[in-house]
Amino acid sequence: MKNQLTVFNQVVSPRPYTIESLEQVLTFADQQNPGFSLTKPSLMNIMKQAGYKTYWITNQQTITKRNTMLTTFSKHMDVQHYMNNSRAQNSREYDENVFAPFEEVLADDAPRKFIVIHLLGTHMKYDYRYPPEFDRFNDREGLLPVMDEDQVEVINSYDNAVLYNDFVVSSLIEKLDARNQRSLLLYFADHGEDVYDTPPHKMLGRNEGSPTLAMYAVPFMLWTSPAWQASTPRDFSAFTDRPYSLSHFIHTWADLTGLSFNEWDKQKSLYNDAFVEHPLWVGNPEGKKPLIEIKIN
């Protein structure tokens, strides 16, 4: 069977913060048109109009003021599963919370389903993101000698959180694969994280005021089922090194799912032969400082 997983290497987010990034990912908004998130339909609206039953499963906190826009987005869907009702960001709500509602949704007999799963992933504090059995990285192996003891501890807890996230995402793929249906799963992070990655190795987290590539570079992986490949034989391997901004995601998703609408721009689709490389703008499009074009080395 042809490779079912395609990994894209040069994808960045436009903003280093969850809300601001997803506002562009899930709508027509981008760094040149930030207001489109309010004036044009969202990806969720479009999938519903296309006849999909739509589901939002989240392990992100939903009862905090900051997440209001996400909660609004989730309300665009037919079905919502809010799995994390804690008020504290630092609570042990592990992402495996999404497994049961995902199975429930997969069992739903709707002919076409669009499912958004929003994980906590590797958001701070890292050591709250994984159960004890994933506490595997706990020494200096592979780390730069310049890192002090505190930094080593933080980096190890981040790597453990990534290890657990790999477990969660691969488990979701296995559950979908076990259904033997025509399906696909697209996994990406809403933004990056600088974990002492950038010299002089002092930066931890994200700061839009002093951007680093580590804050914007994101994993972007597509899994397609055998039935999907049989019905839609497309090879994406030629596109894996295209520099791409998540702000244009809606055009790629439309291309992938065969949707077309007036605003669709095939030059902004990662999977299209008409793809055109666009500058990767980062920064606050409504801020005073000009946007910066980030370069992937």
What is the DSSP secondary structure assignment for residue 288, as one 8-state letter?
A: S
Q: Count residues binding Zn ion (CB under 5 A).
A: 2
If one asks whether residue 255 binds Zn ion (CB under 5 A), the answer comes out as no
- Report the DSSP pairing between strands 194-195 and 204-205: antiparallel
Stretch that binds Zn ion, among 11-19, 60-68, 219-227, 273-281 (CB under 5 A): 11-19
Residue 33: closest CA among 207, 248, 211:
248
Binding track, positions 147-186, relative to Zn ion; x by CB under 5 A: ----------------------------------------
Instruction: Measure the CA dihedral 115/98/192/218, to 10°.
Output: -50
The span from the CA of 119 to the CA of 11, in Å, is: 19
Range 203-222, binding Zn ion (CB under 5 A): none
Judged on CB neighbours under 10 Å (0-12, 13-18, 19+), 200 is exposed
Position among 20, 95, 190, 194 found at the interface with Zn ion (CB under 5 A): 190
Stretch that binds Zn ion, among 14-22, 89-97, 235-243, 268-276 (CB under 5 A): 14-22
Task: Tell whether the torsion through CA atoms of 134, 6, 125 and 174 is positive or negative.
Answer: negative
Tokens of 289: 């400082």
Q: Which is nearer to Zn ion, 190 or 255 (CB)?
A: 190
CB of 60 to Zn ion, least distance (A): 8
Stretch that binds Zn ion, among 15-23, 50-58, 213-221, 264-272 (CB under 5 A): 15-23
Q: Which is nearer to Zn ion, 18 or 245 (CB)?
A: 18
Contacts of residue 102, defined as CB under 8 A and 6 or more positions apart, other chains included, come to: 57, 115, 117, 172, 175
DSSP symbols for 232-271 = S----GGGTT--EEGGGHHHHHHHHHT---TT--GGG-TT
CB of 41 to Zn ion, least distance (A): 23
Question: Residue with the closest Cβ to Zn ion?
Answer: 18
CB of 207 to Zn ion, least distance (A): 14
Residue 44: closest CA among 104, 116, 130:
116
CB of 240 to Zn ion, least distance (A): 24
CB of 159 to Zn ion, least distance (A): 18
Q: Which is nearer to Zn ion, 64 or 257 (CB)?
A: 64
Position among 6, 13, 16, 18 found at the interface with Zn ion (CB under 5 A): 18
CB of 190 to Zn ion, least distance (A): 4
Residue 56: closest CA among 99, 87, 103, 102:
102
Q: Which is nearer to Zn ion, 6 or 245 (CB)?
A: 245
For Zn ion, the binding residues (CB under 5 A) are 18, 190
